[in-house]
Amino acid sequence: MNRNDTTSPAVLDQLRRHAAGRSRRVLLTGATIVTMDPALGVLDRGDLLIEGDTITAVGPDLSTSDAVVIDATGTILTPGFVDTHRHAWEAQLRRIMPDVDDLGGYVMATLAGYAKAYRPHDMYVGTKLAALTAIDSGITTMLDFSHNSRTRAHSDAAVEALADTGIRGVHASMRPHFGEWDEQWPADLTRLKEQYFRSDDQLLTLRMATLATEEIAGPDLAYGPELARVAQDLGISVSVDAVFGIPSSGAVLRWAKDGILGPDVTLIHCTGLTDEAWKAMGDAGATVALAPTSDAQIGLETAVPAVDEALAVGIRPGLSIDVEVALASDMFTQMRALHAIQRMRAVNAAYGTDQQPSRITTHDVLDFATLQGARTNGLESVTGSLTPGKKADLLVIQAEDLNNMPLSDAVGTVVLGADARNIGAVFINGEPRKWHGQVLGVDLDTLRTEVRGSRDHVLSTTTA
């Protein structure tokens, strides 16, 4: 067997020559392995074996016959990042409002404006662009909070875009806030499940997407017993957006009283909630998706990502990107923003007293971006850590690149030093999706033309 390194395109040809599927074995050797599995920890030098789509062994000096052996010396292997909430269809409008300073401004420009111009083709283009960008920056699982499902065709286009990129995708379906639509939601969730989500062992999963309260778009979108019953009948989980402030705190208490708040419900943002609401969430085992840059930059309620509140009731949150119309697209930014904001907040609270600041660590935020993100998306048994038996969703990060050398602390390097340019390879479900620093199977010129054409259509139609 020839040894190959992850900087050589030649190894990709060797991988492709070996038939994809359960029979292919890939052995990465000599890497620093950040497993994010509490029982395995960090291996300063170790090997990782992939058989088909699954991680089957992690440890020192592994050997196996008939494997493609890749010399990963000088790299860090980590689980792929998990995005728990992104409105992917908006991607062709990236940074169109970089200085938006309140939720109302975003809602009126995007949801009450641009969204109404979207055709199914535009849904496809935006979602595809978001997913490919996620893969490029090391996000192997993305929950697409797809809240512009004006017709069945709009939903189909969003799902098919996820499928075409090869990302581990969660399609969270919701009708639009404003404008004309076919009124097919939530009934169409049944068709979507039967058409696209028949198997539990596939890259794509289905969720219901909804809102916390009726202030933004009326009572039909507010989570409650009726929508909870639809989700329960279909056996799918629920992601609830716009959870913030006193109205959402009251809603949380009602959900707890009605028995519709539990581990299958993810609450997004969660800024400005009352202590009583947080206690109910912790008692029910609900999951939380934080959006660090969204909360801080757009200014949602307190504008402080609610990591301390979550941890205080035993909830370890996942992290998310939210809206690319105003925010960064990558998980490195989310980790660093949360790390800095929480530590600033902790020190500020203790300043002038004899109290010790309660700071989160780089390991905490990497845990939020991987294992806890997977748990938040209902995929903890599938992904989020480099645990034998889980699917092979992992990153190969170049630790000897200019901005990372010399490697002193692997977790610190991933969280505080690395970025998308250092990701030499991305595996999703055992398949290489990024190699030699390039996302595979993407014709950038064609994609550019599609993205610009879609954006120009949306802008011209909205302003007409």
Classify residue 464: in a domain, yes or no: no
338 belongs to a structural domain: yes
Q: Identify whether residues 269 and 363 lie together within a single domain.
A: yes
Indicate if 34 and 123 belong to the same structural domain: no
Question: C-alpha 181: how far from its chain's center?
Answer: 27
- The type of residue at 459 is L
| pLDDT computed for residue 263 by the predictor | 97
- In this prediction, residue 187 carries a pLDDT of 97
If one counts every other C-beta atom within 10 angstroms of the C-beta of residue 355, the result is 10
For residue 410, being part of any structural domain is answered with yes
Give the CATH number, domain containing residue 390.
Answer: 2.30.40.10
- Verify that 328 and 396 share a domain, yes or no: no
- For residue 300, which of 363, 383, 361, 212 has the smallest C-alpha distance? 212
Does residue 127 sit in the same domain as residue 20? Answer: no
User: How far apart are the C-alpha atoms of 126 and 139, rounded to whole Å?
Assistant: 17
Please indicate, yes or no, if residue 460 is contained in any of the structural domains: no
Q: What is the pLDDT of residue 23?
A: 78
Establish if 456 belongs to a structural domain.
no
Looking at every residue in the chain, the average pLDDT score rounds to 95
* pLDDT digit string, tens, across residues 357-373: 999 999 999 999 999 99
User: What's the domain range around 362?
Assistant: 81-376
Instruction: Report residue 405's pLDDT band, with 50, 70 and 90 as the boundaries.
Output: very high
pLDDT confidence of residue 4:
46
- Whether 317 is covered by a domain: the verdict is yes
Q: How far apart are the first and last CA of the chain?
A: 62
Residues 6+ apart with CB under 8 A from 269: 241, 242, 243, 244, 289, 290, 291, 294, 295, 300, 301, 306
Residues 363 and 230 in one domain: yes
pLDDT band for 215, please (50, 70, 90 cuts): confident
Q: Do 63 and 102 lie in a common domain?
A: no
Inside any domain, residue 448: no
**Same domain flag for 127 and 8:** no
Looking at the DSSP bridge assignments, the partners of residue 81 are: 139
- Average pLDDT (160-182) is 97
Q: Are residues 133 and 149 in the same domain?
A: yes
CATH number, domain containing residue 342: 3.20.20.140
Please state the domain count of the chain: 2
In a domain, 462, yes or no: no
Q: For the segment 68-77, what is each residue's pLDDT rounded down to a tens digit?
A: 999 999 999 9
- Give yes or no: residues 327 and 273 share one domain: yes
